[in-house]
Amino acid sequence: MTTAQIDSIKEFLDTKADLYNRPSFIERDPISIPHRFNKKQDIELMGFWAAVLAWGQRPVILKKANELVELMDGAPHDFVRNHAESDLKRFLNFKHRTFNATDALYFLHFFRQYYRENDSLEDAFLPDTTKPFDSPSLQTVESSLIAFHDRFCGLTDFFPERTRKHIATPARNSSCKRLLMFLRWMVRQDDRGVDFGLWTRIRPQQLVIPIDVHVNRVARHLKLLDRPQTDWKAALELTETLRQFDSMDPVRYDFALFGLGVEGEM
C-alpha cells in the first residue's frame, strides 16, 4: 500500500470512527447493557457477560443479557457475592444459543470466588510476569487473554468442560472477538461516552481489534487484511495495519469498520 493510499484510507476511517464513536451508537449495541450501571464492578460483570453472549441477532442478545440482569435482581456485583444457594434455581432455565444453565452457574461460581478476593476483574487479565511493556509478549493483550482463560477455567476441580468454548484464547488461535470487544469497552479512554476506560493497567495500544463478520468484510474490502483465515493471526495482522493510522489507539477504528458494515455503507 502506497503512502498516498494509506493517507486516503486513514482520512476515510478517521471520519467514520468519529461518526460512530458517540452515544447514539449505544442503544442497539450490547455495550448498552453495562451502560445501565454506575458501579465499576457492575459494569465489569455485565460488560463481560454481554460480550460473551454477543453472537446472533442484536435484539436477542440484548434481551438475554437484560434477562440476566433481572435474574440477578438488578445488582450483579451484590448478587454474585451474596446470593444463597436457593437463588441459583432461577438460572436453570436460562439459555442463549449454546450457552446454558451449566455455563451460567459456573460463571456465577467463578465471579463469587473472584470478587470475594479481588476488587476489579482487570486483575484476572493481568499476566503473571515481570517483563517490561516493550517485551514482544506484552505488546498486545495476547498474554492477558491466555492468563484469563487459564484462571477462569482452572478455578475449581469441577470446571464443566463444555463451558471452555465460551472463553476463547489465542493459545488455540481463536480470533477471541468477544473478549477483545469486552477489553475495548474496559480499556479505551476517549471521553466520547461509549467505551468506559475503567482499566488502566492494560493500555489502549495493547488492544487487538475484534473481528466480527462486519469488520472482517469491510477490512478485506479496503485491503487492510490479507490472511484468508479469520483467526488470532488475522486479528493481529489487521491491528498491525491499523497501527499505521494510530499507533497509540489502533482499535478506535473498530467503530469505523463495524459501523460501515452494520449500517450497510460498505
pLDDT in tens, 102-116: 999 999 999 999 999
pLDDT tens digit string along 207-216? Answer: 999 999 999 9
| Percent above pLDDT 90 for the chain | 86
CA 165 to each of CA 27, 146, 180, 212: distance values in angstroms, whole numbers, following the listed order: 28, 14, 15, 17
Spatial neighbors of 264 by CB under 8 A, at least 6 apart, are none
Rounded Cα–Cα distance for residues 125 and 151 (Å): 9
Sign of CA dihedral 110, 113, 119, 125: negative
Spatial neighbors of 146 by CB under 8 A, at least 6 apart, are 127, 169, 170, 171
Assess whether pLDDT exceeds 60 at residue 255: yes
* pTM across the whole model: 0.94
Assess whether pLDDT exceeds 70 at residue 129: no
Q: Which residue has the cell 455485565?
A: 46
Query: Which of 80, 161, 174, 68 lies closest to 118 in space, CA to CA?
Result: 80
Three-state secondary-structure class, residue 22: coil
Rounded Cα–Cα distance for residues 216 and 200 (Å): 28
pLDDT of residue 128: 74
